[in-house]
Amino acid sequence: MTFRIQKNSRERVAELRRLLNDFNYQYYVLDAPTVPDAEYDHLFRELQGLEEKHPELRAPDSPTQRVGGQPAREFAPVRHRVPMQSLNNCFSEEELHEFDRRVREGLRRERITYVAEPKLDGLAVALIYEDGVLTRGATRGDGETGEDITENLRTLRAIPLRLREDCPPKWIDVRGEVYMSRAGFEALNRAQEKAGGKPFVNPRNAAAGGLRQLDPTVTAQRPLSFCAYAIAGSEGWRSPVAHTGILEQLRRWGFPVSAYAEAVEGIVGCLAYYRKTAERRVTLPFEIDGIVYKLNDLSGREELGSVARAPRWAIAHKFPAEEALTVLEAVEFQVGRTGILTPVARLNPVFVGGANVSSATLHNMDEIERKDVRIGDTIVVRRAGDVIPEVVRVVVERRPKTARQVVLPEKCPVCGGTVVREEGEVAARCTAGLTCRAQLRGALLHFASRRAMDIEGLGDKLVRQLLDLKRVNSPADLFKLELKTLAELERMGEKSAANVIAAIEKSKTTTLARFIYALGIPNIGETTSAQLALHFGELDVLIAATESDAKTVEDPELKDKDRFPKLRKVQDVGPEVAASLCRFFTEPRNREVLQELQRCGVHWPKAESRKKDGPLAGKSFVLTGTLPGMTREEVARLIESQGGIISSSVSSKTDYVLAGTDAGSKLAKAEKLGVVVIDLMGLKKMMGVE
């Protein structure tokens, strides 16, 4: 879409202004851009060039004037022709009922229509337009006198420099809110941190600070937005009879207005809107702190008037505070089902987000260190809706001399197992996976799963009962269960119990690969378990290798590439996987469970060594997609029986990718790396099988 019509300079400047203002309106108000950014930039530069060549053609409503003028020494005071009133607040349904009663009695009506809209958490401004052109913008100030921030407001593309109206009012005062979206706030803070600056506390502070910059070019760099919500006064314009008409007129003039504003009937409609908005509050693209209800009938507003500095016809129904100050009394560590330790703040109870909060998440040790959280600190805690409360920041100025550092425990608070936090890792983890009660439910379900020990009938409900009754404290205890014990459990019965006992007995005969996978070692999947079984052949040999390699972690003489020398000889085993193996097999509690499992009769035949002279010897394969007539497991066993190596991920070291139908990202990566792609027929040809 190109606009390069040869005309005289005056006509071309007028055309460019019209086009660029239209594009701004479509982009920032309608959220429906019609031209690429490159075309907009081209036209903008053309207009700049013409205005520089012909200064007499430059005008206040030109899009080029948004970039900001000279820095101001200070903001000049501005007296509002129509005072900028504040709104009275209510915090409960009872107070809202009382407001509605006063409105109905004041107007002597039974049915009242209100307009409800989210209360943006930003900075209120007044925009003055004369003959359709923006001539002044000011802050609220004390309501009577504000500060002239016209040059800064010009930089906001959502604010029209000229009304979209052929016959605009002689004078009009538009009121609205300057705010910052959540996405804009996050982007701004990322840029601040990258530049070594201090991040902003919240979007409102960032918006207010951006709007009150003495240098408009700084304001222009802030991701500020605007929403118009009222017309405070006018000359040469006939007002609609209802507030909904005001919003529609503002939209026609080119202002963004709230897409969430609704006309509601009476107190019932107000409360329904409040509850609906409270539920979706955390998903909104901007922060709000309540709902504003305004009488829709403008003549009724005149009749009700104002009291002090607030109108009688409007009220702000505030949400419960999302942030509050309290004292961090202690930090405890909870252990998740995968063994990860999560620090939890124990707080002096405080009412926030509509609930009493006595604990909040601290996420991990990195977050504690980044926020410099200490026990005894006064902290800001945040709770929005059903979101888990979190510690936002520390009020360092209130830090007592007795404040203590948070220390990661060396032993698991649940089972006493060793806690490890590898260098560079965010999470700290309890290594006693098979005996730690916090991890036991997940460990048992994984242990019994179809691809692991395949204990049919041992599902989540049964595992929960066994744990609640303390019948099982490790996977080894599954093999000690008696028929009578299971039959007495809820919803079991003797027949169901007998089936589970039979499945447990059957699972005692397994393979080394399945057994390794069943242990639930972090980072060890089916493919890696199979590689370990093939490489080491026996569990004792694998354990001995981990014992030997574990010593290399503490050897300062070794470089990274020299650590875990025995384990890293195995296909797909890198430093992270090797570290997981070492942590698991060198944990005494895990070793005790392994021995107990074998004493209970769990056994497997010696794993077959990979053929060294087969047609696929030494070649690595990655399987992807659906293979005709065979499962992936069957194809993998076939490849391994002929000396091939199964890998779980595609890399430059992969020899072949065996692709079936509906192959995904692995196929795309193979093609990108130039790895040979074959199908099942191609594999059989390589093996000499027709």
- CA torsion 295-297-301-302 (nearest 10°) is 180
**279 found inside a domain:** yes
pLDDT of amino acid 30: 62
Q: Are residues 390 and 453 part of one domain?
A: no
* C-alpha 337 chain-centroid distance: 22
**420 found inside a domain:** no
Q: For 402-421, how does the pLDDT look when each residue is reduced to its tens digit (9 = 90+)? A: 999 999 999 999 998 889 88
List, in sequence order, every residue forming a beta bridge with 429; answer none if it has no partner: 340, 420
Separation in Å, CA 325 to CA 254, 402, 444, 619: 41, 19, 42, 62
Q: Which of 283, 318, 353 is the last residue of a domain?
A: 318
**517 found inside a domain:** yes
Computed from CA positions of residues 561, 563, 566, 570, in that sequence, does the dihedral angle turn out positive or negative?
negative
Q: For 575-612, how does the pLDDT look when each residue is reduced to its tens digit (9 = 90+)? A: 888 988 998 999 888 999 999 999 999 999 876 656 66
Whichever domain contains 345, its CATH number is 2.40.50.140
CA-based angle 461:464:466, to the nearest 5?
A: 110
Q: Are residues 100 and 142 part of one domain?
A: yes
Q: Are residues 469 and 339 part of one domain?
A: no
Helix (H) or strand (E) holding 668: helix 665-673
Q: How many other β-carbons are positioned within 10 Å of the β-carbon of residue 327?
A: 15
Q: Are residues 396 and 306 part of one domain?
A: no
Flag residues of the chain having pLDDT under 50. 1-6, 68-69, 71-72
Q: For 22-57, how does the pLDDT look when each residue is reduced to its tens digit (9 = 90+)? A: 777 776 556 566 666 567 667 877 887 888 788 888
**Nearest residue to 291 via CA among 324, 255, 258, 323:** 258
Computed from CA positions of residues 625, 629, 634, 638, in that sequence, does the dihedral angle turn out positive or negative?
negative
Whichever domain contains 631, its CATH number is 3.40.50.10190
**526 found inside a domain:** yes
pLDDT of amino acid 612: 65
Q: Residues 6 or more apart from 461 whose CB is under 8 A from it?
A: 491
Residue type, position 632, single letter: R
Q: Which long-range contacts (CB under 8 A, 24 or more apart) does 330-334 make?
A: 330/375, 331/362, 331/368, 331/373, 331/375, 331/406, 332/413, 333/408, 333/409, 333/413, 334/438
Burial state string for 190-200 with b = 16 or more CB within 10 A and e = fewer than 16: eeeeeeeeeeb
Q: How many other β-carbons are positioned within 10 Å of the β-carbon of residue 180?
A: 31
CA-based angle 38:39:41, to the nearest 5?
A: 65
Alpha helices in 537-587 (DSSP H): 539-553, 575-585
* C-alpha 242 chain-centroid distance: 40
The single residue listed with the structure tokens 């980044």 is 370
Q: Are residues 93 and 49 part of one domain?
A: no
Q: Which of 599, 634, 662 is the last residue of a domain?
A: 599
pLDDT of amino acid 3: 46
* C-alpha 564 chain-centroid distance: 36
Q: Are residues 661 and 560 part of one domain?
A: no
pLDDT of amino acid 661: 83
List, in sequence order, every residue forming a beta bridge with 132; answer none if it has no partner: none
Q: Are residues 133 and 254 part of one domain?
A: yes
**485 found inside a domain:** yes
Helix (H) or strand (E) holding 375: strand 374-375
Catalytic annotation, pick one of 53, 119, 484, 566: 119
**Alpha carbons 649 and 433: distance in angstroms, whole number:** 26
Q: How many domains does the chain have?
A: 5
**429 found inside a domain:** no
* Max CA separation in the chain (angstroms): 99
Q: Residues 6 or more apart from 663 whose CB is under 8 A from it?
A: 624, 625
Q: Are residues 56 and 18 part of one domain?
A: yes
Whichever domain contains 52, its CATH number is 1.10.287.610
**72 found inside a domain:** no
Q: Are residues 172 and 234 part of one domain?
A: yes
Q: Residues 6 or more apart from 365 whose CB is under 8 A from it?
A: 343, 406, 408, 421, 426, 428
**382 found inside a domain:** yes
Whichever domain contains 527, its CATH number is 1.10.150.20
Q: Residues 6 or more apart from 632 whose CB is under 8 A from it?
A: 623
List, in sequence order, every residue forming a beta bridge with 325; answer none if it has no partner: 380
Q: Which of 294, 318, 342 is the last residue of a domain?
A: 318
Whichever domain contains 247, its CATH number is 3.30.470.30
Residue range(s) defining the domain that contains residue 466 = 437-599
Q: Are residues 105 and 144 part of one domain?
A: yes
**Alpha carbons 670 and 676: distance in angstroms, whole number:** 7
Q: Are residues 328 and 313 part of one domain?
A: no
**Alpha carbons 623 and 614: distance in angstroms, whole number:** 19
Query: Is 119 tagged catalytic?
Result: yes
Q: Are residues 574 and 624 part of one domain?
A: no
pLDDT of amino acid 4: 46
